[in-house]
């Protein structure tokens, strides 16, 4: 039983268990693992901030992609300015701000769809919320920046707390298939993930974040082997049993590539299978690159599993 069965997000009511909500990914990076980064890979790392022409072009590309996502049925837009793939070069807070802020401002001016900022930095979250974002997606579950929880509490917005044991020492990278993690020690995969997610929840609630604003993400692809990612999806209901809505992010990830021996641009069917099983196991939100196709998968899965009537509001 969830602690709360709904969330108000930018004036919209998300009712957990009624249907699956789709979060469309806007990667404002040149080096996304999935190949969908909106900054050209040959532009240099400061494309978004080096000149006004570059910034204007980037914003227009982001608006065009967001428009397609919304038309296809995306419920939330998730904007991130730093790649999290194994081997990616980190960016500093100022560069992340330079990438993210112009896009967040443009999205919130142009569209009614809720905008989430994918960041673990308090500095970036604060500025994005001031610019109109209404949600924070933290891949480090409030463990990377001690000030982030306070920012989220002060703004009273929802937060996605993701489980993450990523470690350079356990990263293995193949040119065609990308990075994966091997040999990260777990005593018991599900019990360890659940315990560490609840540690993030404790950080959140101590800072004053309401339980109704907490969403959990098991961290598919972050510090787990291929087999562990597959097991987590199959046992997702155990994460949801913690009492919080669950976000699942399997889109184009390397566990699909290594399972099917396919590069990122050929992982749509594998993503669709992971999403469908995730919905059966209780996912409330799916974070996706291929929005049009996965919205259809989610609607079909919802019709089967949740008997969701597409004429409902």
Catalytic residues: 253, 287
- Own/partner pairs for 91-96, CB < 8 Å, 24+ apart? 91/45, 93/121, 93/123, 93/124, 95/45, 95/46, 95/49, 96/121, 96/124
- What is the C-alpha separation between 152 and 100, in angstroms, rounded? 17
How far from 120 is each of 5, 199, 219, 288, CA to CA, in Å?
A: 26, 16, 14, 19
Closest CA to 68 of 267, 283, 288, 270: 288
Contact in structure between 46 and 98 (CB atoms under 8 Å):
yes
Q: How many helices (H) and strands (E) does the chain have?
A: 11, 12
- What is the C-alpha separation between 241 and 1, in angstroms, rounded? 7
- 52: its two tokens: 């006004």
- What is the C-alpha separation between 130 and 136, in angstroms, rounded? 12
Residue carrying structure tokens 């560490």: 196
Give the total residue count for the chain: 313
- Own/partner pairs for 293-297, CB < 8 Å, 24+ apart? 293/268, 294/22, 294/251, 295/22, 295/72, 295/73, 295/74, 297/272
């Amino acid at each position: 039983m969830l602690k709360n069965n709904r969330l108000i997000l930018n004036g919209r009511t998300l009712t957990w268990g009624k249907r699956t909500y789709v979060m469309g990914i806007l990667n404002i990076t040149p080096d996304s693992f999935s190949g969908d980064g909106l900054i050209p890979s040959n532009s240099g790392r400061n494309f978004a901030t080096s000149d006004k022409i570059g910034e204007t072009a980037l914003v227009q590309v982001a608006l065009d992609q967001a428009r397609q996502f919304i038309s296809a049925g995306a419920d939330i837009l998730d904007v991130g300015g730093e790649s999290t793939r194994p081997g990616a070069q980190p960016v500093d807070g100022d560069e992340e701000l330079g990438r993210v802020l112009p896009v967040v401002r443009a999205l919130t001016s142009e569209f009614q769809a809720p905008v989430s900022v994918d960041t673990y930095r308090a500095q970036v979250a604060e500025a994005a919320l001031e610019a109109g974002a209404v949600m924070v997606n933290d891949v480090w579950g409030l463990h990377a920046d001690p000030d982030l929880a306070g920012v989220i509490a002060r703004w009273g917005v929802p937060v996605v707390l993701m489980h993450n044991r990523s470690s350079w020492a356990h990263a293995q990278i193949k040119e065609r298939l990308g990075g994966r993690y091997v040999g990260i020690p777990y005593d018991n995969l599900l019990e360890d993930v659940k315990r560490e997610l609840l540690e993030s929840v404790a950080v959140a609630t101590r800072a004053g974040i309401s339980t109704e604003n907490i969403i959990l993400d098991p961290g598919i692809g972050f510090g787990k082997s291929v087999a562990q990612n597959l097991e987590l999806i199959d046992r997702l209901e155990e994460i949801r049993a913690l009492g919080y809505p669950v976000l699942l992010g399997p889109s184009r990830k390397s566990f699909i590539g290594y399972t099917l021996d396919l590069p990122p641009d050929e992982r749509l069917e594998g993503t669709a299978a992971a999403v469908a099983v995730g919905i059966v196991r209780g996912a409330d939100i799916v974070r996706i690159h291929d929005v049009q196709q996965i919205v259809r998968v989610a609607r079909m899965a919802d019709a089967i599993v949740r008997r969701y009537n597409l004429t409902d509001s």
